[in-house]
Amino acid sequence: MQTSETKNKMKTDLSVYEIQATFCRAMGHPVRLRMLHLLNEAGEPLASSSMLEDLGIAKPAMSQHISKMVSVGLIRTSRRGRFTYIQLAHPEIGQACGLVGCALSRHAKEQARVFES
């Protein structure tokens, strides 16, 4: 039998997973993943204008991606004069993206070995 304390813990755990799912959904776009990768590689804030060139997207699209990622806490922005700078909200975000990339690379290699057999 579950106690009320156990039920409350399960509800808390569920809300943590809901927040995590929202966070992950915001990363669920190739342009956003590329933005996170660029920010992680830079290790410092980047001007949004320089990222536009690297990403090859229009300014309105960039603004929408930035807005989505700021709203869930993936990135932070700051103004310096006329320029907007973007940075990872936490270094762990870049590390997490790197880990997922490594896992996908390993998975692809395993799948290639299966097809070679």
Question: Max Cα separation, the chain?
Answer: 61
Closest CA to 6 of 18, 20, 14: 14
**At a CB cut-off of 8 Å and minimum separation 6, what does 75 contact?**
35, 36, 39, 66, 69, 86, 87, 88, 89, 93
Which pLDDT band, with edges at 50, 70 and 90, does 116 fall under?
Answer: confident
The structure's pTM equals 0.79
User: Could you read off the pLDDT of 70-99 as tens digits, one per residue?
Assistant: 999 999 999 999 999 999 999 999 999 889
| Domain 4-116, architecture per CATH | Orthogonal Bundle (1.10)
Q: What is the pLDDT of residues 47-77, one digit of tens each?
A: 999 999 899 999 999 999 999 999 999 999 9
